[in-house]
Amino acid sequence: MAQNQHNISDLRISYTKAKLNIEGTDPCPIKQFEKWLNEAIETKTAEATAMSLATVNEQGQPSVRTVLLKDFDSEGFVFYTNYESRKASEIDFNPSVGICFLWKELERQVTITGAASKISKDESKKYFKSRPIGHQISAWASTQSSKVPNREWMLARKKELGTKFSDGIVPYPEFWGGFQISPTEIEFWQGRENRFHDRIVYRLEKANWSRSRLSP
């Protein structure tokens, strides 16, 4: 293998900031998630709500991309996207998804496995209306995941839609909305010294959450 100019095989940082044990976690994984997310936001972790979302296509090929968490509760974790995008068609085919939050500044990761489903149109509409107008117009202008000729073409399309909605009222686009991921497994990972990390996993078993420690 070619040698990278930064010698990446020698890049290492030591994780020493915190520990995690079962007694120190909340019996409810959603409450535990809320605690860690709050700590990530309060410690100014960059893009604390950004999560990697993995989906699988008809050929069994996984794909992954970043989306932003916009809401969560005991029912699940919500993000918004174009319903005609690659991720949305993969979810239509197979609702099983994985998400991963990496909070580097806290040496923490949370991974979640579950099933995605569309949220109600009313909820999507409500969130759409709360977005800045520029974001609303971009949602209309984006044919997310499809090939386009060039950036000029995209800008011309956006300008046209900006003119169309110049009265400042942007209707809700039916092809855009939220997905909620109902979790069946949630794992909390805390980096520890010498790669001997702490992992606590919650699994949904007969409507109750179990908690176990996993080997690093």
Ligand X SMILES: Cc1cc2nc3c(=O)[nH]c(=O)nc-3n(C[C@H](O)[C@H](O)[C@H](O)COP(=O)(O)O)c2cc1C
Closest approach, Cβ 69 to ligand X, in A, equals 8
Residues contacting residue 200 through CB under 8 Å, at least 6 positions apart: 20, 21, 22, 25, 187, 188, 211, 212, 213, 214
Interface with ligand X includes 158 (CB under 6 A)?
Answer: no
* Residue choice 57, 86, 138, 201 for contact with ligand X (CB under 6 A): 86
Q: Which stretch in 60-68, 91-99, 131-139, 154-162 sits in contact with ligand X by CB under 6 A?
A: 60-68
**Beta strand spans in the chain (E):** 50-56, 62-68, 71-73, 76-82, 96-103, 108-118, 176-190, 198-205, 208-214
* Residue choice 22, 28, 41, 68 for contact with ligand X (CB under 6 A): 68
Closest approach, Cβ 75 to ligand X, in A, equals 19
Rounded Cα distance between 1 and 209, Å, is: 45
65 DSSP β-pair partners: 53
Closest approach, Cβ 148 to ligand X, in A, equals 13
**One-letter amino acid of 4:** N
195 is catalytic: yes
Q: Which stretch in 2-10, 83-91, 124-132, 195-203 sits in contact with ligand X by CB under 6 A?
A: 83-91
Residues 85/178, Cβ–Cβ less than 8 Å: no
Closest approach, Cβ 88 to ligand X, in A, equals 7
Interface with ligand X includes 138 (CB under 6 A)?
Answer: no
Residues 51/99, Cβ–Cβ less than 8 Å: yes
* Residue choice 65, 125, 131, 157 for contact with ligand X (CB under 6 A): 65
179 vs 209, beta carbon nearer ligand X: 179
DSSP string spanning 102-145?
EEGGGTEEEEEEEEEEE--HHHHHHHHHHS-HHHHHHHHH--TT
* Residue choice 81, 113, 136, 180 for contact with ligand X (CB under 6 A): 81
Q: Which stretch in 85-93, 94-102, 125-133, 193-201 sits in contact with ligand X by CB under 6 A?
A: 85-93
Residues 209/28, Cβ–Cβ less than 8 Å: yes
Catalytic positions, please?
Answer: 195
Per CB under 6 A, residues contacting ligand X are: 47, 50, 63, 65-68, 79-81, 85-87, 144-145
